[in-house]
Structure 1
């Protein structure tokens, strides 16, 4: 039986904008209030997904959230027509309003944590949507994310869906952005790495002081229990508090793994040597490659600025691995030089391919942020909603859909335009029909 890793990329939503909402995310804050291009952003993300499909990868698509989030604004006391709600919220609670317009669901690495059937006690693929409690604008996502995942992976014989963890920062969960799976082959049992930033119930443990640690060890352990993971196949690693305080808000900004390769900066982990020893022990006798980047080769600041580690590492059909990197990596001398050297090392990585995802990068997300990884076997892949898999035909349909519904430019003032809400709902209603998702959005459920 064949096994695959399918990357489900998030479609960028029609309200893609730069509001600088994510404290601790340097790129997000530094580009606050710039004019965005939703159409360009959506096309850049879709083009990256299509390029991977053209390389022979199985590629999927996840739908965005409905924004502006009128339902949350009404829960917060704004009344009247939709137009009145938008105008009053923008006037009297600007930051709340901007949060309710965020298109942050485009970063589907935060959508959920996924454990493949080879690792789980019941032999099903398990999904737990992230609660994203640390940021208000992202905490609005889990319920719709859960419905989208159920519409994509609908057969309960093969797929298990869990409710997101309690909406409290003691169980702050950021999904796959803090989760990496290592394995010899996708169909073999692997070692799942849960990277956390702090202990919620023990304040004596190390923690960052400048920026928040978004993932708790308590949340990581809860997800592992929900997914039926054996203790011998799980490693819990604390992220270095010092790098969180320098803008490494998720582990996928400082480390990335694929199969038997873990690519990370030397400052990524707290008590690094202990963590690596534990990974080696649980991984067993199969070949395992640690690619540790020193500060002398690439500074932490360059790694953050270029998102060197927010790259994708994929296994191509010929068995070689490739790094999918943002063009910012190519434009930085130190990072480009290092990536040139990686392909000459004695590891499975033999190619580096660069992509323009600048609309996403300016808001704080690189190629790895844009995808949710799901390891599947042949039978499971056949049970996936086939309309969510990217084919030439579906790519053309989605491109035409973007051309039809998305604006070329969007400023902060445009977000209060009632017509934008109508445009977005019309677009999403059509998208659910293209992807055969059923009714997943609040406006469809009324």
Structure 2
């Protein structure tokens, strides 16, 4: 679909381009982060072909500034109808997320909108959200369902994700999250809803053939450890890779379950304990931290990023973009929160928002770092170094975003 205004969609642009006069190019190979200075980068057929071999083909002058890989946002909930800004106002007046949910708000309040919307209506709204992600330097996202909570609406949400991936420049990695909350009609029959997920939803999602992952909100007041285990086991039977919302508000054993079940990631982790951290490390489970949610909910306790890193955990950063508990799409702002509130260095935050996010999505061989033969998903900045990103806090001095070797956003 064509873009207007600041959006640049160049059908006639050659895939063969060069970025020259790059002042700082952070290169990470999964082990060591190094900086190439005063260099160039060549793109062929949408992939990085070489670094530091100047040519004269279709050149972009980076004006001595920073160039990074596109961000990987490995935890988002972008398929919804309307936002829940009234809940934000309620929290500002002193109500907690838990109190609002008990009174009919929270996840449940988004269900009616998704169920009553057509796929086209959801697609059109989500498409604009994808534009926003791109403008903020994010080139790949994980996209969850979870606001339909019946079979038809969950399948509809996955179809929307598939069509966004086909038609928008951003890459979307689809996750089925029918186990996001108990809908009103099952509030008094939770086991009945678990049975619906395992007996009807999961087989239908498998037949549809879109979702790669399965996710469960394992938390007090949502899905118990036993419920989550049952759902994940069923998902594994159908080949879905598990990820778990774990230890967000309380520690009921969700992150331990993630380790036991071979989940690719355990997400949130504000209430994780030392034993569970060690289990994540021993089982190579990515710890996906979402400081934007803590900030947006006006909570005081952030996930223990420093302890996780010191224990040897793989830490990723993501936005948790959703209509209620975190309406933030900016990975640069998430990095700022990580260095200011979770004792991460800027380099740790950068790796967590790029390479480790790709690890959490199983696409680290294609995206997440600047390496030869990886996709040319790049951000050209109007700043000099990584250390300027948190310095600018909510300002995002991005000049161009390149996806698959083509300019898809330009300031």
Band the TM-score falls in, shorter-chain normalisation: 0.3 to 0.5
User: Going by fraction, where is strand more abundant, 1 or 2?
Assistant: 2
The normalised TM-score by structure 2 is 0.32
The normalised TM-score by structure 1 is 0.31
User: Going by fraction, where is helix more abundant, 1 or 2?
Assistant: 1
Higher RCO (CA 8 Å, separation ≥ 6 residues): 1
